[in-house]
Amino acid sequence: MQFTDQLHRTITLDTPPKRIISLVPSQSELLWDLGLREELAGITKFCIHPELMFRHVARVGGTKTLDFDKIRAIGPDLIIGNKEENEQAQIEKLMEEFTVWMSDITTYAQALDMIGKVGKLTNRSNKAKSLVHEISSAFQYLPHLPEPAGRVLYLIWRDPYMAAGNETFINNMITRMGLSNVFNDSENRYPEVTEATIKALDPDFVFLSSEPYPFKDKHISELQSLLPRAKIMLVDGELFSWYGSRLRKTPAYLHKLQMTLQGT
């Protein structure tokens, strides 16, 4: 059978895959939740959820530092990657030897599309459809904050500071909860920002992500001196950026944040 990935590439599988390597944490968790626990033969060192998967499935390096010898030793009949999270040169090298299916996700709609397509790809269509319905139903009841809801700076890194900008999945989640990203019009998807720029932006809210940089409480006070009027808080980066089965938990978390921002 032929399958089209989200880069509009077509791959062929004669039978459902029996040895799958996933190179993306959120998609590894998805495969596990789709019931592919015997088929999932390789993951990255960042694929930490669920813990049982992390402890028992072989690791093949990092998302951008793949160990090709370990991948070859596994001998996968399918590798699943992502345009943003994996290095293009490494993926192209894998494509020379293996069947590789790629996702490309910057929106909620693309995430649901990926789940459905991975379900078909792995012979788990019914489970994937059920998961998409569960996620869609949860997001349907996520309220928007009253307008104007406020402008938010979402930081993902420190030294130097880096923010989530336009055309990112994080930005899409920010928008869905009714906030405006201060970098919504940025040409750079992850702009680097100075303290002077942060001060000039003067956002209403600052979200400090738990990943990839592990912001802590001490970083709140650092930024509060720059932005005395802003509400600054730590947020769960996984629930803003993971686009697999973890999306089931995202609406409830975003709603909780909404209530915190409103002081309720």
Closest CA to 171 of 209, 134, 116, 201: 209
Confirm whether 191 is domain-assigned: yes
Strand, helix or coil for residue 252 = helix
Buried (b) or exposed (e) across 70-82, using 16+ Cβ within 10 A? ebeebebbbbbbb
Predicted local confidence at residue 264, as pLDDT: 52
Predicted local confidence at residue 217, as pLDDT: 95
Report angle CA 138, 143, 148 to the nearest 5 degrees.
150
Confirm whether 52 is domain-assigned: yes
Residues 131 and 232 in one domain: no
- The span from the CA of 183 to the CA of 16, in Å, is 42
pLDDT above 70 as % of the chain: 100
pLDDT classification of 201: cutoffs 50, 70, 90 = very high
Predicted local confidence at residue 64, as pLDDT: 97
Residues 247 and 179 in one domain: yes
Residues 135 and 17 in one domain: yes
Residues 46 and 163 in one domain: no
Residues 82 and 165 in one domain: no
The predicted-structure confidence for 58-94, as pLDDT tens digits, reads as follows 999 999 999 999 999 999 999 999 999 999 999 999 9
Greater confidence (145 vs 71) lies with: 71
Report H helices in the chain.
Answer: 25-33, 51-56, 68-74, 88-95, 108-121, 125-140, 169-176, 195-201, 217-224, 237-241, 250-262
Task: Output the CA torsion 169→174→177→180 (10° steps).
Answer: -140
> pLDDT at residue 2 above 60?
yes
Residues 135 and 155 in one domain: no
What token pair was written down for 2? 């032929």
- The span from the CA of 112 to the CA of 236, in Å, is 21
Segments forming the whole domain that contains residue 165:
151-262
> pLDDT at residue 146 above 90?
no
Report angle CA 178, 179, 185 to the nearest 5 degrees.
125
Average pLDDT over residues 213-235: 96
Q: Residue 194: which residues within 8 A CB-CB, separation 6 or more? A: 160, 161
> How many distinct structural domains can be found in the chain?
2
Predicted local confidence at residue 189, as pLDDT: 95
Predicted local confidence at residue 148, as pLDDT: 73
Average pLDDT over residues 108-118: 98
Which CATH number characterizes residue 19's domain? 3.40.50.1980
Residues 84 and 156 in one domain: no
